[in-house]
Structure 1
């Protein structure tokens, strides 16, 4: 009997000795909860980029555009207004600059041109290969 009590006491001390009360977070409703802050990503469009970045982007953009000509499945989009051209160039720039992901690029493109998923995927893959 004494042996069982001694064993139980040692076990209790072993478990309680490992507890660090300072590491237990408080979950009381009055305690403020800190939420992690998302990293701030500076969104810059093509027109406001530095001349060096514009030149690097332009080189990659021309290379990707040239590669579309050799793909029979690629169909040009109706970028028939200055506004549409500027939108598409800025969308490509944001992808190229890492401001948006490949998936975000495709989703935003398909939202305006739903019949051109292949083309947006093609462009996104082209920029991905240039990195």
Structure 2
């Protein structure tokens, strides 16, 4: 179940969605070992905004591009976590050259097309349900 679908099944306010997605993307970035600068680039905000997001003094707003990109980053994290189930292994995978992708995943996720390509690759490697 996607984070958005879980929200749709319950009556959740936009404020609650914003809080949950904001906190979840910060935790995912920490577990993946992403710097503030890289998190900012991935979700399309300034470095200062990423810093405020980590300090819990800023929230992503539903319906904005940064919110949508944060949900994509969460999807990548959840897929990797399902496969590797180890933070150090996920960090290592993100920083290792990947022949199928043609680059290190960490270097690709800074663009929307790169992020989507990495997500599609990881999703294709998961066991069928």
Greater share of residues in helix = 2
> TM-score, normalised to structure 2's length?
0.27
Q: Rg bigger for which structure?
A: 1
> TM-score, normalised to structure 1's length?
0.26
